[in-house]
Each structure stands twice: as C-alpha cells, then as structure tokens.
Amino acid sequence: MMYFGKKPVSCIFVMLIFVILLSSTARGMGSPQKFPRIDIQAPEAKLSPVILGSASVFMNISNAGELEDTLTEARVDIPGAVAEIHDMKDGKMVKAEKIRIPSKNIVELKPGGLHIMIFKMPEDIKEGYEFKMHLVFEKSGERQINVKLKGVDTHLHMHH
C-alpha cells in the first residue's frame, strides 16, 4: 500500500491519475495550435518632401501562420518623434487604427497605400540615418526592426 502523508493511496487511483494526465497531453499533441507567424521584410523610410520633419516607412509584413494578426501600434526610438499607422483614402492620407495581417498572406506597406508616418523628427536627420522601429501586433507581440532613411518620398502626401 502507498501512502500520501498519513493516508493510504491505492495503486489503482495513482494509475488512473497518470492515465488521465497522459491522455490529455497526447490529445494536445495531436492537434497543432493555430498561431500567426509574422515576418518583416525590406523596411525603409523616405523623407517627406511636403511635411518638414516627417518620413514615410514602407515594408512587407508576411504572415505564414494559420491565424491572422493585427498591427496595432508603431513606435520609433527617435527622441520627440511620433509614429502613426496611415492609409490613403480618396487621394488623401488618413490615420488608421490598425492593419490586418491575414494568415498565409503578405501585406505591403507602400507609397500611395498603407504605410507608417513619422512626425516631429529632428531637423538634422538626413538620408542614411538609421533608427529602430517597434511594431506591436495583437497576437504576436512587439517586434523591433532597423530602418534606414533612403532619400525622399516622391509621392505627394495630402495630410488629413
């Protein structure tokens, strides 16, 4: 007879608990959990020719996972600067709350479409400047990427 503390425990009870735990573990292994798999390619920023101290950031966000995700926030490590998610509607730039990243898909942030704007950048920032951007996803959490300023954006922005 086995004892747990001062109480006797039957071997059948212990075996029953073991079988229940083992079967629940095996059941979880049989069905893979669905999750997004976010990857960020080709990030680059271009200075705005229209809005002084601002830049547009472009990239491809791919999701090879089984579950969609959503980009909800962007931040930069440039002192005093503010990053916002933007889209173009009827030829005008508008602030967007989020960007949906469907499963098994690629979302392109590009001139004339979805992009991230950086405002209130120091005036001495020029082409070649590198900075870190933090992208926050609803399910995947925060991702940090390195972005380099590569010239001037030739698409004219009509702000809000």
**What 3-state class would DSSP assign to 25?**
helix
Q: What does the pLDDT read at residue 22?
A: 52
Is the CATH number 3.40.190.10 carried by domain 38-152?
A: no
Find residue 144's DSSP bridge partners: 134
Residue 144 amino acid letter: Q
pLDDT-derived band of residue 158, with 50, 70 and 90 as boundaries? very low
Cβ within 8 Å of residue 6, ≥6 positions away: none
Q: What does the pLDDT read at residue 34?
A: 87
Tokens of 71: 């980009």
pLDDT-derived band of residue 44, with 50, 70 and 90 as boundaries? very high
Query: Could you tell me which residue, 23 or 49, shows the higher pLDDT?
Result: 49
Give residue-wise pLDDT tens across range 110-146.
999 999 999 999 988 999 999 999 999 999 999 999 9
Q: Where are the domains of the chain?
A: 1-31, 38-152
Total-model pTM: 0.76
Q: Which of 43, 3, 31 is nearest to 147 (CA)?
A: 43
Q: What does the pLDDT read at residue 27?
A: 45
Residue 83 amino acid letter: A
**CA gap 148, 108 in Å, rounded:** 18
Query: Could you tell me which residue, 131 or 154, shows the higher pLDDT?
Result: 131
Give residue-wise pLDDT tens across range 15-24.
555 555 555 4
62-87 burial, b for 16+ CB within 10 Å, e for fewer? bbebebbbbbeebbbebeebebbbbe
**CA gap 96, 14 in Å, rounded:** 57
